[in-house]
Structure 1
Amino acid sequence: MSDPLRVLVVDDQQLVREGLTALLELTEGVTVVGAAGDGARALELIADLRPDVVLMDLRMPVLDGVAATAHVSSRFPEVAVVVLTTYADDDSIAGALAAGARGYLTKDAGRAEIAMALRAAAAGHSLFAPEVSARLAEAMSRPIPSPAAGTSSAAGLSSAGRLSREHLPDGLTRREAEVLGRIGQGRTNAEIAADLFVAEATIKTHINNAFAKIGARNRAEAAAYALRRGLA
């Protein structure tokens, strides 16, 4: 039998911490190794306990979840972060993904969904709550306004901060940008292949090339890149 997934729970509300700990301890193959009430304490425990995954709240005192996630990504890249929060607004989602979170759930998620997100993150994959995926999909479908007169074309950004497709960053091809955008939407390789009417092996090639160009280590980082650069 494989080793259980080691999870650290981080939330500033004691009742929530205790509830999540009890919930996850009932989940087969998951062990809660510790709990913290803020991001700073979480980093101390990560250094000591080396969990596989951190289940991270966003709004916390001392050090919030976005900042803590960024520290985890830089200091403990082998540790995955799944956000579990009340908030599903664009700024919260983009901030968490940009910091390196591999999953994003809201607090109405059930035990099975949380366990699935934790396991996916530990395996290097991403899983988003349906409302988060819907927001990413909406962002993908928004028309991109032309740059206003007098705006530097070198910057390539519209007034809304979205990147014009005429100014693709980091040497990306148009197809690589399309694939990154769909990763930002939370779509699988098979779904992307179906969207673009190509073989899944072709999508894997585009992903490998795009990841190399943008320096992404996993799909969550690629999704965050797509959001920051206006590709999603």
Structure 2
Amino acid sequence: MEQPLRILLVDDETLLLDSLEIILSLSQNMSVIGKAHDGQQALSVLKERTADLALVDLNMEGMGGIELIHQIKTIYPSMKVLVLTTFYDENNIQRAIANGADGYILKDSGRESMLQAIEQIMHGQSVLDQKVLQTLSKLMASKGTSTIPVTTAPTTVAKEELSQSSPLLMDLTKREREICSMLAEGYSNSQISKFLYLSEGTVKNYMTSIYDKTNIHDRVSLVVYLRELFHSQ
């Protein structure tokens, strides 16, 4: 039997910590190894116990979430960090991602979205809440840039075909454009593979090709660019 995913919870609200522990404990493949009310407590826990992922709030007394993310990524580079917060302003999003957050979701996302985000992050994907992605899209549009140093977003329905009007996409094959249309809607590699009847390895190979051809080398920058392209049609 596989070892359960070891999760550290960090939030200054005791009731929320207890609720999260109950929710995660109901999943057979997840185990809460500790709870902390601020960044310093979290680092103390990590000195004693190993975690695979930290679920981190941003605004806390003492050491806040941004500094904690930086410390975790410096001391434990292989550890994943998922931001779980009520704030999705440009400053918090940019700072969290710049310091290495692997995902950013909101507390009102719901239980299933949180569990899905954890699973996706542990499978090497990064996750952004839809509201967070919209904030990044507005930021990109206001700055007139198509590159934001971040990485992915789950959502629902795929487009049929991507327009070739952008010079960045002219070299893509029909299959690559099809995958781009799904990326624009936030599909994960796993969802794309199931929808297109491809192996995840094949999807990863297509992704590598798309990154090379567009010269956009992180997932969310590509997703935001593709969403803007769709909305401009």
State if a TM-score over 0.5 links the two structures: yes
Measure the CA separation in 1 of the matches of 2:120 and 2:74: 20
CA, structure 1 residues 182+67, in 2 after alignment: closer, same or farther (shift >3 Å)?
closer
Q: Does the CA-based 8 Å contact 2:133-2:153 persist in structure 1?
A: yes
21-30 or 33-42, which moves further after superposition?
21-30
TM-score normalised by structure 2 residue count: 0.67
| Residue of structure 1 in register with 2:194 after alignment | none
Higher normalized contact order (CA 8 Å, seq sep 6+, divided by chain length): 1
Give CA deviations for 1:126-154 in whole Å, capped at 9, x if unaligned: 1111100111222233363xxxxxxxxxx
Structure 1 portions without partners, runs of 5+: 145-162, 164-177, 227-232
The equivalent residue for 1:105 is 105
Cα 1:78–1:47, aligned 2, differ >3 Å: closer, same or farther?
A: farther
User: What is aligned with 2:208?
Assistant: 204
Q: Contact 1:84–1:105 at 8 Å: present in 2 too?
A: yes
Aligned counterpart, 1:94: 94
Show the counterpart of 2:53.
Answer: 53
Assess if the C-alpha contact under 8 Å between 1:50 and 1:79 holds in 2.
no
- C-alpha RMSD of the superposition: 3.4
How far apart in 1 are the matches of 2:149 and 2:98? 16
Alignment-mate amino acid for residue 80 of structure 2: A
**Partner residue in 2 for 1:116:** 116
Quote how far apart the aligned CAs of 1:7 are: 0.6
- Counterpart in the other structure of 1:19: 19
Does the aligned pair in 2 maintain the 1:103–1:117 contact within 8 Å? yes
Counterpart residue type for residue 140 of structure 2: M
Give the 3-state SS of the residue equivalent to 2:74 in structure 1.
helix
Q: For residues 66-104 of structure 1, what are the alpha-carbon distances to aligned partners after superposition, in whole Å with 9 as ceiling and x for unaligned? A: 000001111101110000011111111111101100110
Q: TM-score of the superposition, structure 1-length normalised?
A: 0.67
Check 1:88–1:21 CA distance in 2 against 1; reply closer, same or farther (3 A cut).
same
* Residue matched to 1:151: none
- Tell me how many residue pairs correspond in the alignment: 184
Give the equivalent residue in structure 2 for 1:170: none
Q: In the superposition, relative to structure 1, how do residues 185 and 111 fare at CA in structure 2: closer, same or farther (>3 Å)? A: closer
Does residue 1:76 correspond to 2:80, yes or no?
no
Q: Distance in 2 between matches of 1:106 and 1:69?
A: 17
In structure 2, relative to structure 1, the CA distance for the partners of 1:110 and 1:66 (3 Å cut) is same
The CA distance in 1 between the partners of 2:113 and 2:90, in whole Å, is 21
Give percent identity, aligned residues only. Answer: 30
Report Cα offsets for 1:10-46 as digits up to 9, x if no partner: 0011111111111111123111111101001111212
Determine if contact 1:140/1:185 at 8 Å carries over to the other structure.
no
